Chains A and B, each alone.
Chain A
Amino acid sequence: MLWLSIHLPLLPLEVFSPTEAPLAVCAGPDNSRRVHACNPAAADCGVQPGQSLNSALALCHELITRPRDAAAEEQALFGLAVWAQQFSPAIHLPLSEGLLLEIGGSLRLFGGAEPLVERVHDDLVELGYSARLAAAPTPLGSWLLARNEVGQIVTGREALHAALNQLPLSGLELAAEVQATLRGMGLRQVGDLLRQPRPELARRLGQGLFDYLDRALGHRPDPRRPVVLPATFDRRLPLPAEVETTGALLFAVRRLVLELVGLLRAKGAGVQSLLLHLEHRGRADSRIEVGLMRPSRDADHLLALFKERLERFELSAPTDALRLSAERFPDLETPQEDLFAKNRTAPPDGLLLVERLRARLGGEAVNGLALQADHRPEQAWRPGEPGQTTAAHLAAGRPLWFMEKPLALDAPDGHPRFHGPLHLTTGPERIESGWWDGLDVARDYFVAEDRAGERFWIFRDRRSGSWFMQGIFG
């Protein structure tokens, strides 16, 4: 077994979508609020964790402050657990600020522990999290190494013991009075503690301390129950400040889409319809639905579709949170990406272009052309779904430009005119058809040319004798 721990020390800050503006998350009772964490923009103004909120605001007038949001932290961890399924079938949530993945079974797929850990790290950065990672044969051991910034991959028991021995006792998750007692005894590192006579210390500090260390070292079993993850995707992301322009929402959408893609990789599937809710305070959500022509899990493509939709979307009210959901995960029709190829060069696909154009212009605006087996010129074609093949017997001599509604022509003394006299060069081609559906035609078609040399496709209705233009030989 090999356990990968992901510790997210800045989670209270990073639950909010990243922002360029100075942001601080505060905690503590209402009358003495303190800065719990702040982003680099705030730190540049001199804001620091531990500061009172008032001094922070005095240093930085534009500081956005949000109270620590335990529910959002839980949701963020849950979102990461969903995302992390691509790396491990068993995800565990330790008690605070992190994730635990059993990766022993995934090593072969990712080419070893090092590439896997590197990949997890890079993806977390892309998601907007600062993470500390460590891997070790016991869950608690890896967690303690990660929490104490011992960024290591430790595969053997002995190496784990050596690494844990060097951890400061202050880095263990112990009650404050236990910590104080240990300090009073002059003990600094885990190794110092383990060299003491056990029964005596256990009597003073409780057996729990040694059980805890034994679990970390692998002397005691440490059964863990993986978190049960839902079959669908539904994730909410609070925004650090209300957003009034859709462009600023893209940042946040990115994180949600990347998490979804993690789930899709785990499932070996894609997504074909997505729903994005924009939450407005005190008003009904706005909904943006994105449909794809075929399932995809290409994060860049999905983001590009949302970008087009968001740029065209008029926000009815400021937005303070986003929610992305997807319910069905159909199989991919074509292999879209290699797990490891970050800069893949997929062959350009016309249907991706169709989705992109439709995202901005609307579904109706982009069509293919289809043939229909019918002698009537207006029935011989129809707009079709792009990418589909149709076949029909073809008649030669048809014009490239077609008029849906034939244009009536003047025909004094039976000679058709269009901005001047027309000269009939070819024809007639008789088309008589359609008695079965009431749209029957009885026409004689001609190619006609005007004085400028423009050529048209015109017909004489054999019942009324009137002339019409139906095409142009472009």
Chain B
Amino acid sequence: MNLDTLLQRADLWRAGAAAPAAPHLGTGSPELDEQLGGGWPLGALTEILLDHQGIGELQLLLPALARLSRERWQAWVEPPHIPYAPALADAGIDLSRFLWVHARDKERLWAMEQALRSGACGAVLGWPADPDTRSLRRLQLAAEHGSACGFLFRPRRAARHPSPAAVRLELEPGQDRMVLHVLKRRGGWGTGRRLRVRT
């Protein structure tokens, strides 16, 4: 038994890691799971803060999205480009439970809230323009209600403002890698470590 498989065990708790009480969706990367205190938090918001597109930001979510698509739906609300079906299917996402939602302005938050709250969706991805704290809190409650993962893609400057999101990640491009920095996670502040993820 190597260390990695040992660390996967749910009954093993390590000091310094967040308590694995709340349900999670594994990210597919043991390293990232550990950083996040288990994985992507179910029933909560995760903010992904980035200023560049095309650095593998969606790639990061694919293993989790593929796994959950076997049972639950996912909704992408007003993405900035067309989500490309061949690439999604190649990543193992079941397209028969995929929703691509167009919504303008305030309707975006409304649509995200509906999708999160419905319980039908395991994950809801959104690119809201400039959500205020109240709207974020509504989304957080909706995610709790539907036990869904809510992923919000926002610019890095959003990190200056507080957010009810359970997890906040900052993504930066790097040489051959994407650099990932956990600013906040459930049950504690980030580990302060920067994680390099190959894309």
Contacts and interface: CB of A to CB of B under 8 A. Distances in A.
B99 A353 contact: yes
Interface in B160-199: 173-175, 178, 199
A455 B55 CA distance: 6
Interface residues of A, number: 49
B80 A401 contact: yes
A369 B100 contact: yes
Contact of A474 (B57, B89, B107, B175): B57
B151 interface: no
B119 A348 contact: yes
Contacts of B58: 400-401, 474
Contact of A400 (B87, B100, B111): B87
A361 B86 contact: no
B13 to A, nearest CB: 32
Interface of A: 348-350, 352-354, 356-357, 360-361, 364-371, 377, 380-384, 386-390, 392, 394-396, 398-404, 452-456, 471-474
The 4 closest A-B CB pairs, nearest first, are: A453-B173, A348-B119, A381-B85, A402-B84
B146 interface: yes
Contact of B84 (A357, A360, A361, A398): A398
B95 A472 contact: no
B88 interface: yes
A393 to B, nearest CB: 10
B90 A366 contact: no
Contacts of A473: 54, 56, 59, 199
Given A348-B120, A400-B58, 19 more contacts: A350-B73, A350-B97, A354-B99, A357-B115, A360-B110, A368-B98, A368-B100, A369-B95, A370-B95, A377-B86, A382-B85, A392-B86, A401-B79, A401-B83, A453-B178, A454-B55, A455-B54, A473-B59, A473-B199
B53 interface: yes
B101 A453 contact: no
Contacts of B110: 360
Interface of B: 52-59, 72-73, 75, 79-90, 95-103, 107, 110-111, 114-115, 118-121, 146, 173-175, 178, 199
B173 A471 contact: no
Given A370-B95, A454-B55, A352 B82 contact: no
B80 A361 contact: no
B96 A389 contact: yes
B174 A401 contact: no
A259 B100 CA distance: 35
B96 A388 contact: yes
B98 A454 contact: no
Given A357-B115, A402-B84, A474 B96 contact: no
B105 to A, nearest CB: 12
B109 to A, nearest CB: 12
A456 B54 contact: yes
A237 B87 CA distance: 52
Nearest to A382: B85
A361 B103 contact: yes
A399 B95 contact: no
Contacts of A401: 53-54, 58, 79-84
B120 A361 contact: no
B88 A400 contact: yes
B181 to A, nearest CB: 15
A113 B89 CA distance: 55
Contact of A371 (B86, B97, B178): B86
Contact of B107 (A360, A392, A398, A453): A360
B102 A368 contact: no
Contacts of B87: 398-400, 402
Contacts of A454: 52-55, 173
A463 to B, nearest CB: 24
Contacts of A400: 58-59, 83-84, 87-88
B95 A357 contact: no
Contact of B83 (A348, A360, A369): A369
B118 A353 contact: yes
Given A370-B95, A472-B53, A394 B89 contact: yes
